[in-house]
Amino acid sequence: MINMNVQLLLVFTLFILSASAQKYTISGYVVDRNTGEKLIGTAIFEKNAGQGTTSNTYGFYSLTLPEDSVNIIFHFVGYSAVLKRFHLHKDIVLNIEMEPSLDLTEVEINVDDYERIEQQSTMSTIKIPVEQIKALPALLGEVDVLKALQLLPGVQSGVEGTSGFYVRGGGPDQNLILLDGTPVYNANHLFGFFSVFNADAINSVELIKGGFPARYGGRLSSVIDINLKEGNMKKYQGSGSIGIVASKLTLEGPIIKDKSSFIVSARRTYIDVLLQPFIRYALNQGSGTKAGYYFYDLNAKINYKFSDKDRLYLSLYTGDDKFYFRLRQNPYLYDGVLYENKLEQEMGWGNVTSALRWNHKINKKLFSNTGITYSRYNFSVSDYREEVVTDTAMTRNIFSLKYLSGIEDWAGKVDFDYVPNPKHYLKFGIHGIYHTFRPGASTLIIQNPGITDIDSTSGAEDVYATEYSTYIEDDIKFTKRLKGNLGVHYSGFYVNSKLYQSLQPRIALRYLIGKSWAIKASYSTMEQYIHLLTNTSIGLPTDLWVPSTENIKPQSAQQVALGIAKTFKKNIQLSIEGYYKNMDNILEYSDGATFLNNNEEWDTKVEVGKGWSYGGEFFLQKKTGNTTGWIGYTLSWTNRQFDNINFGKIYPYKYDRRHDISVVFSHLINDRWAIAGTWVYGTGNAITLPIATYTGFANDTYYGLYGAVEYYENKNDYRMASYHRMDFSAKYKFLLFKQLDSEMIMGVYNLYNRKNPLYYYFGYDAFDNKALKRVSLFPFIPSLSLNFKF
């Protein structure tokens, strides 16, 4: 009994000592030594206490530990690990500069490394290093972030070659694409064949498919969080590339060394310039004719570091696509009267996003980010005709028609990171967005001396809406084995005197089994107040963002996921997850509806229904070393049900893809040569085809017409041929003009020339027999691009 009491006394004493032990906080920023660029998601781990954290979106970290000798390791993929040993006896600021590890050799990671997948409480989250994205083979040599994401399990691509993607059975509008925290509404150039993101200007890319942390909201299926680079704080540098389709140039450098920097990155296609003579020839027009297509995008960012506590960022993205046709006829005389004609037709679309953010380190444990953001997407078609008639006097006849649709957001937000101790990492904040929806309006101007001038606007009126949200989440370490990310997201949407509100709990748990296995589970509910009207699978600029209305309620989803995670030797990470997601109030175009019919209000040609998706995902990834890459496999089922589609019966979603496989690798052969390859396989898309025709009967009170009816057994019950393709690229490094670090990238898209289906239609064969025809777009396509740095 005495022995027992002594033991209890000892335990109590230890507890008191432990509780009373003084704790201090180590905080600071982690940046790249050469450029000063922040390193987002750096793993920071103190070995003695077994505690760790990660740097946030701004490179900031905070770790509170008891007074003792500390042994902290900082690790970031592609960088040499940094180890710091010292005695912690007061709060300290420890800013870390990390050196890029040029050869990318494996860093032997401590088993307790905080970055390891099994250590993280979040699940269904994948980060791909930008350098790895750049190493992948690309269509026509254009590196594309969104197409790289399509190679991940749980993410399905849409039409071949386009950057549209569908996450865990969700629609294309259910992906929240954030560029420096600002939503991008149309991430496509050239109908989706290229995305708007210029990889040269990107710092980090993260995809979240489920188990959403409470800080995110507004979309049902995924978050793609893209952060732009900030610009080199140390020295001026530039990089560029010349490709088949477009060229890019990036400049960055310090405005004030170690205090302020800038980065400007621009890209433009030159098809229109190169092909102008051919276009004129094809159109059989003279030199007064210009026609073509181009897109450009520009990323710019400046930041200013007032002190270790305050930093200001201003970032801008702008990009446009434009098709144009301009005709200026030579003046001609007819019956003594001089005529001059001008015609200008254009179709254009583009995004502008801008963010002004202020980072403030309130104290060693509390960090804030306050921002104002602006985002706009516009689509316009214009037709301008002018005729100048000179007789005794000059008269000018003008006809101008312009159609405009789009969406515009002004938003403000305040986010806080609070790290009270290593067991808690709190994030909380408040966001507000003021939306202006332009569902489509036409302006007609006619000026003709013979008639009364017309200047009128018709079409749908602008709709204004306010969306707001607040959240709190805590990354909690309950025990050494059990960790969780618990949070709640509350949001509201006010439109046309109608208020929608939603409280969304978010839970993600991780339980360690042994040293390197973890079981993970998550539950999340999501609410989405805006909808995208689209009945094409490609990113057409005519896709229309519309708000929830009194008749069209917000979309909502619930998702549960369960999985295991493990890191093997050589930092090979494995994750296997199963998920189930249901979605309510999702939209589909009604039977027979088409976006080309602008005579009807948008909400009269849509149906509201439900969707389900469930399946499993396997992901084996290697991020470091000379050989990197991943293998992804998804087995999934995705269905839809609408009362007025398919007679209310459940049918497969068009991107219901039973099997989806991707194999991605890149290998550094030596200092000069590197190779990369991808192979993808996917079950064919589900489409609706008629199987028979028969005589129909309209017992019309007048005509009693008979016409052929096409019989569709069920919606989406025909499978296109499976999709598979292999791409390959080789990169050769050399000195251009004996001084520029350069890379020549030779790539092949669709190496074995697979004729993958783009779409099917009924036509005729060579003998005039009716037949089903498959159209494929991209055969074997070589590409060549040149990258250089200075």
Partner 1 sequence: MKLLKYVLSLFFIAMIGCETNEDIVDFPLHKSRLVINCSFSETKFWTVHISKSLSVIDNAPLSAVEDAVVKIFEDGVLLTKPTYFVDGFYISFTDTPIIGKKYSITVSAPGFESVFASDSLPVAVPISSISMVVTDSAFYTGHLGEIVGYLNAEASIVFDDPANQENAYVIAAFRVDTIYSFDSTSWNLMNRPLFLESTDLNVETRYGETIILSDELINGQTYEVTFTFQDSFEGVNKPKAIHYIFILRSLSPQYYLYERTYGLFSTRIPDPFSEPVQVYNNIENGFGIFGGYSESSDTIMIQ
Tell me which residues touch partner 1 (CB under 8 A).
Answer: 140, 242, 244-245, 274, 535-536, 588-597, 646-647, 688-703, 705-712, 715, 721, 755, 758, 760-763, 765, 768-784, 786
Task: Report in angstroms how near the CB of residue 606 gets to partner 1 at its nearest.
Answer: 10
Element (H, E) at 769: none
- The token duo for 510 is 């991780």
Task: Report in angstroms how near the CB of residue 651 gets to partner 1 at its nearest.
Answer: 10
Task: Report in angstroms how near the CB of residue 548 gets to partner 1 at its nearest.
Answer: 19
- Taking the C-alpha atoms of residue 568 and residue 331, their distance in angstroms, rounded to an integer, is 76
**Closer to partner 1 by Cβ: residue 50 or 763:** 763
State the amino acid at position 777 in one-letter form: L
Look at residues 50, 202, 60, 167 and name the one whose alpha carbon lies nearest to residue 512: 50
- The token duo for 169 is 């059975």
Task: Report in angstroms how near the CB of residue 696 gets to partner 1 at its nearest.
Answer: 6
- Taking the C-alpha atoms of residue 375 and residue 184, their distance in angstroms, rounded to an integer, is 7
Question: What stretches of 496-605 adopt beta strand conformation (E)?
Answer: 498-513, 517-528, 530-533, 544-547, 555-568, 572-589
State the amino acid at position 412 in one-letter form: G
- 283 phi and psi angles, rounded to 5 deg: -85, -5
**Closer to partner 1 by Cβ: residue 449 or 690:** 690
Q: Are 495 and 557 in contact (CB under 8 A)?
A: no
Task: Report in angstroms how near the CB of residue 629 gets to partner 1 at its nearest.
Answer: 26
Phi-psi region of 300 (alpha: psi -120 to 50; beta: other; left: phi over 0): beta
Task: Report in angstroms how near the CB of residue 317 gets to partner 1 at its nearest.
Answer: 27
Q: Are 410 and 357 in contact (CB under 8 A)?
A: no
Look at residues 589, 633, 580 and name the one whose alpha carbon lies nearest to residue 611: 580
Determine how β-strand 706-711 pairs with β-strand 692-697: antiparallel
- Taking the C-alpha atoms of residue 156 and residue 168, their distance in angstroms, rounded to an integer, is 8
Q: How many CA atoms lie within 13 A of 282 on its CB side?
A: 9
Task: Report in angstroms how near the CB of residue 761 gets to partner 1 at its nearest.
Answer: 8
**Closer to partner 1 by Cβ: residue 568 or 647:** 647
Q: Are 684 and 716 in contact (CB under 8 A)?
A: no
Q: How far is residue 210 CA from its own chain's centroid? A: 15
Q: How many CA atoms lie within 13 A of 738 on its CB side?
A: 0
**Closer to partner 1 by Cβ: residue 631 or 744:** 744
Report the residue count for the chain: 790
- Taking the C-alpha atoms of residue 152 and residue 116, their distance in angstroms, rounded to an integer, is 19
For residue 532, CA distances in Å to 122, 353, 544, 561, 603 come to 29, 19, 5, 26, 12
Task: Report in angstroms how near the CB of residue 597 gets to partner 1 at its nearest.
Answer: 6
**Closer to partner 1 by Cβ: residue 284 or 597:** 597
Task: Report in angstroms how near the CB of residue 772 gets to partner 1 at its nearest.
Answer: 4
Residues contacting residue 318 through CB under 8 Å, at least 6 positions apart: 297, 298, 350, 351, 352, 353
Task: Report in angstroms how near the CB of residue 594 gets to partner 1 at its nearest.
Answer: 4
Task: Report in angstroms how near the CB of residue 653 gets to partner 1 at its nearest.
Answer: 14
**Closer to partner 1 by Cβ: residue 665 or 759:** 759
Element (H, E) at 701: none
- Taking the C-alpha atoms of residue 213 and residue 209, their distance in angstroms, rounded to an integer, is 11
**Closer to partner 1 by Cβ: residue 13 or 693:** 693
Phi-psi region of 625 (alpha: psi -120 to 50; beta: other; left: phi over 0): left
For residue 529, CA distances in Å to 84, 408, 450, 493, 535 come to 48, 15, 49, 7, 19
Task: Report in angstroms how near the CB of residue 592 gets to partner 1 at its nearest.
Answer: 4
Task: Report in angstroms how near the CB of residue 141 gets to partner 1 at its nearest.
Answer: 9
Task: Report in angstroms how near the CB of residue 380 gets to partner 1 at its nearest.
Answer: 20
**Closer to partner 1 by Cβ: residue 370 or 776:** 776
Task: Report in angstroms how near the CB of residue 473 gets to partner 1 at its nearest.
Answer: 40
Q: How far is residue 372 CA from its own chain's centroid? A: 20
**Closer to partner 1 by Cβ: residue 311 or 531:** 531
Rg (CA), the chain: 29
**Closer to partner 1 by Cβ: residue 258 or 601:** 601
Question: What stretches of 623-682 adopt beta strand conformation (E)?
Answer: 627-642, 651-652, 659-668, 673-682
State the amino acid at position 409 in one-letter form: D
Look at residues 48, 135, 30, 34 and name the one whose alpha carbon lies nearest to residue 669: 135
Burial class (CB in 10 A: 0-12, 13-18, 19+), 596: exposed
